[in-house]
A and B are shown apart, each in its own frame.
Chain A
Amino acid sequence: MLQTLESRGAPKAASSFPAQYLQAYRFMLLARVLDDKMAGLYRAGKIQGGVFLGRGQEALSVAMGLALRPGDVFAPLIRDGAGRLAFGEPVLDWVRTYLGSALGPMRGRDGNVHRGRPRQGLLPMISHLGAMISVVNGALMARRFKKIEGCVGAASVGDGATSTGSFHEALNQAAVERLPLVLLVANNQYAYSTPNSRQFACKDLMDKAIGYGIPAQRVDGTDLEDCLRVLSAATAQARAGGGPQMVVGRLLRLGGHGEHDPAHYIDAQLKKSPLGRDCLKVAEERLLREGWADAEAMRALRQQIVQEVAEAVATVQREPAPDPYKENWCALSSRHLIDVFEVPSLTPSP
């Protein structure tokens, strides 16, 4: 299962819709089990820094990841575990970055959701999430310079990022350059604790697209089928030369901003509303109802995934942590240009 971005060559679109649905569900479940494991490790004090979960956003996220192909570019948001897995991020990258393994892609230099493999098209976010969109634009401009056709770039942001200047600049830029960008807004109703009512005043975030001259579509983020259909269509449109596409998913964040946040502020009415449905449960019920999988197969799948996650965590827990003495304290690729003046007290001490 530990597929890598490089080995993910074959077209992964499952043949039939039920098979595709089941494939998406599998990534969603894997992401949920990984999330639960990270939350447990956090509570046990085994994780340095924060833990940010994708509970309730897996359907939207996985649909984005599945719409992409090798050679595409993906800048995920902090709740895109399912989409990352579907795009081909190895489970070990996830676990290693959270546990600070020296063998992970970030080697202890960055943590948790700030992981990626830029050379394979998976961009590691900075915390100013809106700033990632124009980086995707630039990657797509480079493809155009190199005359590489048929690729798309996807950037995921939340409702909060739509208020940033970077979001505006990047969407306008993508429209001016007519880039194959898919901009996915996961409106989970809260940016940390700030509700939509204090975030924006337009009726619908879709309205923002009009100002940039790009099309937008709405999707029910709690319904996997809707997510798969809309994201696949929008991505195909961008891939075919239709210019930037915006998709706004409506859903509810089923937890805090991070595991440190009890999220008492989330409106109880919202939780009870259709928006508050757990997309994973909805998908599970659908699978059983349609007879695409039986209860026994579902149990076996969960067991297999729990086992896979437990093995990954056990593996990483035996891996070395970064060593401050062996660390290459050089922020430049051009080592000969490092500023050599160093205050002696800044060298690592035991």
Chain B
Amino acid sequence: MSITYLEAIREAQAKALADDPRVFIYGQDVGAFGGAFKATKQLAQEFPGRVLDAPISEDAMVGAAIGAAIEGMRPIIEMQYADFSTPGFNQIINQAATLFWRTQVPCPITIRLPSGGTSGAGPFHSQSMESLYAHYPGLIVMTPATVEDAYSMLLEAVAIDDPVIFCEHKRLYYHLKAAALPTEAMPVGKARIARAGRDLTIVAYSAMLQDALAAAEELAAEGLEIEVVDLRTVKPLDTDTVMASVARTGRLLCVGEAFPWGGVTAEVLARVATEGFGLLDAPPQRLNARDTPIPYHPNLWLVHRPTAQSVCAAARKLLEM
């Protein structure tokens, strides 16, 4: 018996629907069809009238979720791909994110973004949007990297009174498995030491955690002890856990799948450089995708984003500094 990352997301939604009558799901093809990735498989049948197909109208989907949330509902919006959240961007950043600040009325909506690259997906079905959303005050941005977090953090997302951008990585959907669903979870907003070490800290999140762990394993064969931090949420960003790890290792490499200009990796480096400069034995480094749109062909795609190999190379270079 094992459960995949995708099944965990499906099960979390089933539990949210079963436990809380205020929850409903709204998104393209989420109804009888069960979603483009089957993240809502059978939910429309199990919860009649509460899993609704939406027209291809991301702006109106999010707008409606906000209106429903004002009225006390707990909507879950499925964007078919993270890339398609851009037509809903205005509603997310200007309406949902500002509502509580402006009115003291909370906006408990969860927006699921099937994120990140998969082979052959190309420029418009591969993007990682967490940095854009994390930039705006009033939003929480989750980036689960494990089956357990995919399940427990999605349940938390629905329970939280603020808008949550839930970045679930498509590359983890099918191949990342756990023995069972978790019965307990770390608090939201806390990063996790995914692997302990003392020579260098790799900070990662979402699918990049798996590449970071693979790199750490490879480097362990060379006698190098790499500490890997899983951010879990990029907003809030658990600076304390990152700083404590850097205090142990003196070296920082931050890895993200998003484009290189600004973003989560730059934020982590800025925080460590400004508040933890004295902890560093070498200049902090970061590794991101290339500064081009995401290519379609596997030959190109495999070298566009960071991989376990490029993480290894970057770590070795940093260890020589």
Contact with A along B179-196 (1 / 0, CB 8 A): 000000000110000000
Given A126-B94, A138-B64, A138-B68: A341 in contact with B271 (beta carbons within 8 A) = yes
Instruction: Report the separation of the CA atoms of residues A146 and B50 in the bound assembly, to the nearest whole angstrom.
Output: 11
B63/A333 in contact, CB under 8 A: no
Q: When A135-B70, A172-B57, A337-B188 are in contact, do A332 and B140 touch as well, CB less than 8 Å?
A: yes
Q: Does A5 contact B (CB under 8 A)?
A: no
- CA gap between A73 and B64 in the complex, in Å: 13
Would B239 and A137 count as touching, CB distance under 8 A?
no
Instruction: State which residues 85-140 of A face B: CB under 8 Å.
Output: 105-106, 109-110, 114, 116-119, 123-124, 126-128, 131-140
With A131-B95, A166-B90: A137-B64 Cβ-Cβ less than 8 Å: yes
Q: Is the CB of B55 within 8 A of A131?
A: no
With A135-B67, A176-B55: A110-B189 Cβ-Cβ less than 8 Å: no
- Taking CB atoms and an 8 Å cut-off, the chain B residues in 69-105 that contact chain A are 69-73, 75, 87, 90-91, 94-95, 97-103, 105
Q: From B71, B90, B271, give the contact of A146 (CB < 8 A).
A: B71
Q: How far is B58's CA from A118's CA once the two chains are assembled, in angstroms?
A: 22
Instruction: Answer yes or no: A20 CB below 8 A from chain B CBs.
Output: no
Does B235 lie at the interface of the complex (its beta carbon under 8 Å from any beta carbon of A)?
yes
A338/B97 in contact, CB under 8 A: no
Min CB distance B301 to A, Å, is 31
Which residues of B in the span 30-51 have a Cβ within 8 Å of any Cβ on A? 50
Interface residue count on the B side (C-beta < 8 Å): 50
Is the C-beta of A196 less than 8 angstroms from some C-beta in chain B? no
Given contacts A334-B161, A339-B235, contact A135 B102 (CB under 8 A): no
Considering the complex, which residues of chain A in the window 182-236 have a beta carbon less than 8 Å from any beta carbon of chain B?
none
Assess the A169–B57 pair: CB atoms within 8 A.
yes
A4 at the interface (CB under 8 A from B): no
Give every chain A residue within 8 A of B87 (Cβ-Cβ). 165
Q: Judge whether B120 is part of the interface by a CB distance below 8 angstroms.
A: no
Interchain CA distance A105-B99 in the complex, whole Å: 12
Asked whether B172 is an interface residue with its Cβ less than 8 Å from the other chain, the reply is no
Is A340 among interface residues, defined by CB-CB distance under 8 A?
Answer: yes
Residue B167 interfacial (CB < 8 Å): no
Taking a contact as CB atoms under 8 Å apart, the answer to whether B67 and A126 are in contact is no
A78 nearest CB across to chain B (Å): 16
Q: Is the CB of B68 within 8 A of A134?
A: no
Report how far A145 CA is from B71 CA in the complex, Å: 10
| B235 & A118 in contact (Cβ 8 Å cutoff) | no
Contacts of A132 in B (CB 8 A): 63
**Interface pair A135/B64, CB less than 8 Å apart:** yes
- With both chains docked as a complex, state the minimum distance between the C-beta of A194 and any C-beta of chain B, in angstroms: 20
Question: How far, in angstroms, from A338 to B95 measured CA to CA in the complex?
Answer: 19
Interface contacts beyond A337-B162, A339-B235, A340-B236: sample of 6 additional A-B pairs, CB < 8 Å, sorted by A: A73-B67, A118-B70, A124-B103, A126-B98, A131-B59, A135-B70
The 10 closest A-B pairs by CB, nearest first: A138-B67, A134-B63, A138-B64, A142-B71, A169-B60, A169-B57, A331-B137, A139-B67, A333-B106, A134-B60
Task: Report A's interface with B, CB cutoff 8 A.
Answer: 73, 105-106, 109-110, 114, 116-119, 123-124, 126-128, 131-143, 145-146, 165-166, 169-170, 172-173, 176, 331-334, 336-341
